[in-house]
Amino acid sequence: MEQSMSEVMNVTDMFGRNVFNDAVMRDRLPKSVYKKLKKTIEDGAELDPSIADVVAHAMKDWAIERGATHYTHWFQPLTGVTAEKHDSFISAPSDGRVIMEFSGKELIKGEPDASSFPSGGLRATFEARGYTAWDCTSSAFLREDAIGVTLCIPTAFCSYKGEALDKKTPLLRSVQAVNEQALRILRLFGNTTAKRVTPSVGAEQEYFLVDRAKYMQRKDLIYTGRTLFGAMPPKGQELEDHYFGVIRERIGSYMNEVNKELWKLGVPAKTQHNEAAPAQHELAPIYEEVNLAVDHNQIVMETLKKVAGRHGMACLLHEKPFAGVNGSGKHDNWSLTGDDGTNMLNPGDTPHENIQFLLVLACIIKAVDVHADLLRESAADVGNDQRLGSNEAPPAIISIFLGEQLEDVIDQLCSTGEATHSKKGGTLKTGVNILPDLDKDATDRNRTSPFAFTGNKFEFRMVGASDSIASPNTVLNTIVAEAFKEAADILEKADDFDMAVHDLIKKTLADHRRIIFNGNGYSREWVAEAERRGLPNLGSMVEAIPALTTEKAVKLFEEFGVFTRAELESRAEVEYEGYSKAANIEARTMIDMASKQIIPAVIKYTTQLAGSICAVRNACPEADVSVQTELLTEASDLLSSMKVALAALIEATDKASAMGGGREQAEAYHGVVAPAMEALRAPADRLEMIVDKDLWPMPSYGDLIFEV
């Protein structure tokens, strides 16, 4: 019944149906309680614990009416995925009966025994206490799946001493920091109406879909999320015929279900299209407040995976599931929105006259230049190491693309000290009478910049598809808060504000112009040019992690109360450990596949060839067996290269895994194990091109990406 009901339900009925949202709260909470809760949500006032029981009660009734049996505190530990522990609502039975209970205490605070979550030494296992605390700025929601209906309560996760053990706590701290400083900037320009400024974020999510039965035949996909072997098929993405191509039925019915699931959970899924690589797609929601956007992106990732299973497919969120074709990223669109509707990143039609915008822009340019290493670090994850700098992925060097119009304004400011005009977009003429003339944007798009200004927002494109967007936004918010603060400190004291702001913009732009680059970020010349400009080029996660604990980073994060030194050190530890663990799994998976699947298959093939040579020779001594002989020689040579490379990989992996952890171990995996993996892959991929397809022990790239 439920199924067919929801089939006919339209989007407006569906949207937010499973969310304990503002409308439901207004409906179900006593007015005074609703008001108090609203104050916390909107003004950041401290939560009044006395209202918790009432809210919990209303939440429970609402959830149970919709079939919920359990609730869970839903949190985001440093694993990068979400965690939950389910409790049913039932009370201790009396007279053999139970009632359904849920108290304010249970809503506000959870205490998962969380000793197995990564804490980077912040919490020794003998002090396993960790607390989850209700984040009322992100609505509770109901998840319906095979387990049943579960009430999910978004929470932050902290240690006994209040140290952040998750991604949400520092994010919320950074939101407070940028709010405070952004308001100072607005006040300087006479804005007295905005009471709050929040980062707005829209994350475009890329993903691959493959057939589940084929997926199950690839241990690399199962264990690591990406292929570790695989020769390129005759066709790749060179025809660009998949990008924006017609969505096929199987994929379309999947997207349809994904959208419905997301809409019910209040996630404003908006755009869907095929991406550059075969089997690659994208989903983008409408932007929201950053905290919600982060939670919703986690829900998007979970939903993409869950629904894929129902359609006989597997969704790959890995940044580079297939070598040689496009990887998957997550464009993090970021702007600053006041509660009065101001978008601080809106240049207007004549940016040269928009002094507030120019100051904001100058501050962001400065922030990104000063903390390029941190921003790069925030996008580092194990999978992204395979993607950054390769085909259709932004380079690992941070630079900013502003576009012609803003670049020109900055040129004017820096050369003559005055900006007197803004380039206009003009009209786009198609040369066809019946087509309307279109207004052109003042700036064309650029696809290769890691940090591009796109109209009224910045788009940070380095983030990996499988990663949480919490860290990149935490860094962005904090570095911009710092630049705002430094500007406000100067300007609030100025006697002549107009003069002071003009000088400050000019000086800031002159000092940090080197980070602006409008050219092709994928070119080799840019690498050399960036080096000449002194921009950091942190090519891998292992090289990026130290940025977290520099004195510069500690000073920044401590000043704005986003991370303590101990929290930063623990995060670096967690990242090294995560890297080493993932690299170890990849290496061991390769060893397993090479030893138990590929080498045996090649031996079978060479044995067949040898058999054929003998048989043909016996039957007909004058027959030409040169083809079989050549193939046999080539396959045998590659087979022996494989064996040598396999032995080397086993040795390197054993050595690395015996090390004591931390940076040194991660460096061993990056510097020694990763090249040994490449060395093993090379002969195996060549063998795949030779060996009889019937004998090859797993589906090929072609099977995976062209036959979904």
Nearer to Mg ion by Cβ, of 44 and 455: the residue is 455
Q: Residue 98 binds which one of ligand ADP, Mg ion, none, with CB within 5 to 8 A depending on kind? A: none
Binding to ligand ADP (CB under 6 A) within 188-207 occurs at 200-202, 204
Q: Give the whole-angstrom CA distance, residue 211 versus residue 314.
A: 6
Q: Indicate which single residue of 18, 198, 335, 665 sits in contact with ligand ADP (rule: CB under 6 A).
A: 335
Q: Which stretch binds ligand ADP (CB under 6 A): 173-181, 332-340, 422-430, 685-693?
A: 332-340
Beta bridge partners of 284: 271
- The 8-class DSSP code of residue 588 comes to H
Regarding 284 and contact with ligand ADP (CB under 6 A), the answer is: yes
Q: Give the whole-angstrom CA distance, residue 434 versus residue 413.
A: 42
Q: Give the whole-angstrom CA distance, residue 451 versus residue 345.
A: 14
Place of tokens 């040194």: 664
Regarding 333 and contact with ligand ADP (CB under 6 A), the answer is: yes
Nearer to Mg ion by Cβ, of 270 and 533: the residue is 270
Nearer to ligand ADP by Cβ, of 198 and 466: the residue is 198
Q: Using CB under 5 A, count the residues that bind Mg ion.
A: 1
Task: Quote the longest CA-to-CA distance of the chain.
Answer: 103
Regarding 331 and contact with Mg ion (CB under 5 A), the answer is: yes
Place of tokens 């120019």: 358
Q: Using CB under 6 A, count the residues that bind ligand ADP.
A: 15
Q: Which stretch binds ligand ADP (CB under 6 A): 158-166, 282-290, 416-424, 673-681?
A: 282-290
Binding mask 579-618 for ligand ADP (x = CB under 6 A): ----------------------------------------
Half-sphere exposure of residue 343, counting CA atoms within 13 Å on the CB side?
A: 15
Closest contact distance (angstroms) between CB of 321 and ligand ADP is: 21
Q: Which stretch binds Mg ion (CB under 5 A): 217-225, 271-279, 325-333, 503-511?
A: 325-333
Nearer to ligand ADP by Cβ, of 135 and 332: the residue is 332
Regarding 348 and contact with ligand ADP (CB under 6 A), the answer is: no
b/e map 10-28, b = 16+ CB within 10 Å: eeeebbbbbbbbeebbeeb
Do 526 and 520 meet the contact criterion of CB atoms below 8 Å apart? yes
Nearer to Mg ion by Cβ, of 451 and 579: the residue is 451
Closest contact distance (angstroms) between CB of 201 and ligand ADP is: 6
Q: Determine how many CB atoms are found less than 10 A away from the CB of residue 116.
A: 12
Number of H helices, E strands in the chain: 26, 17
Q: Residue 200 binds which one of Mg ion, ligand ADP, none, with CB within 5 to 8 A depending on kind? A: ligand ADP
What is the full DSSP assignment across 378-399? HT--TTHHHHTTSTTS--SB--
Do 330 and 205 meet the contact criterion of CB atoms below 8 Å apart? yes
Q: Residue 202 binds which one of Mg ion, ligand ADP, none, with CB within 5 to 8 A depending on kind? A: ligand ADP
Q: Indicate which single residue of 191, 272, 343, 350 sits in contact with ligand ADP (rule: CB under 6 A).
A: 343
Regarding 670 and contact with Mg ion (CB under 5 A), the answer is: no
Structure tokens at 83: 């965690």
Q: Which stretch binds Mg ion (CB under 5 A): 106-114, 328-336, 407-415, 696-704?
A: 328-336
Q: Give the whole-angstrom CA distance, residue 265 versus residue 135.
A: 17
Half-sphere exposure of residue 128, counting CA atoms within 13 Å on the CB side?
A: 9
Do 304 and 258 meet the contact criterion of CB atoms below 8 Å apart? yes
3-state secondary structure of 482: helix
Q: Residue 303 binds which one of Mg ion, ligand ADP, none, with CB within 5 to 8 A depending on kind? A: none
574, 580, 581, 586: CA torsion to nearest 10? 150
Closest contact distance (angstroms) between CB of 300 and ligand ADP is: 11
Nearer to ligand ADP by Cβ, of 44 and 455: the residue is 455
Closest contact distance (angstroms) between CB of 274 and Mg ion is: 15
* Beta strand segments in 347-455, E: 400-401, 427-428, 438-439, 451-453
Binding to ligand ADP (CB under 6 A) within 259-278 occurs at 271
Closest contact distance (angstroms) between CB of 303 and ligand ADP is: 16
Q: Residue 181 binds which one of ligand ADP, Mg ion, none, with CB within 5 to 8 A depending on kind? A: none
Nearer to ligand ADP by Cβ, of 200 and 237: the residue is 200
Query: Between helices 565-593 and 674-690, what is the axis angle to 10°?
Result: 30
Closest contact distance (angstroms) between CB of 331 and Mg ion is: 4
Q: Determine how many CB atoms are found less than 10 A away from the CB of residue 533.
A: 15
Nearer to Mg ion by Cβ, of 331 and 387: the residue is 331
Nearer to ligand ADP by Cβ, of 116 and 271: the residue is 271
Query: Is the sign of the CA dihedral 175, 179, 180, 184 positive or negative?
Result: positive
Query: Between helices 355-370 and 497-512, what is the axis angle to 10°?
Result: 40
Q: Indicate which single residue of 23, 45, 98, 286 sits in contact with ligand ADP (rule: CB under 6 A).
A: 286
Q: Which stretch binds ligand ADP (CB under 6 A): 82-90, 279-287, 307-315, 600-608?
A: 279-287
Residue nearest to ligand ADP as judged by C-beta position:
202
Q: Indicate which single residue of 110, 285, 521, 699 sits in contact with ligand ADP (rule: CB under 6 A).
A: 285
> φ, ψ for residue 21 (rounded to 5)?
-95, -175
Regarding 457 and contact with ligand ADP (CB under 6 A), the answer is: yes
CA proximity to 145, closest of 314, 299, 313: 299
Nearer to ligand ADP by Cβ, of 200 and 303: the residue is 200
Pairing of strands 458-460, 427-428: unpaired
Closest contact distance (angstroms) between CB of 459 and ligand ADP is: 6
Pairing of strands 451-453, 458-460: antiparallel
Structure tokens at 519: 């050219």
Using CB under 5 A, list all residues that contact Mg ion.
331
Where on the chain is the footprint of ligand ADP (CB under 6 A)?
Answer: 200-202, 204, 271, 284-287, 333-335, 343, 456-457
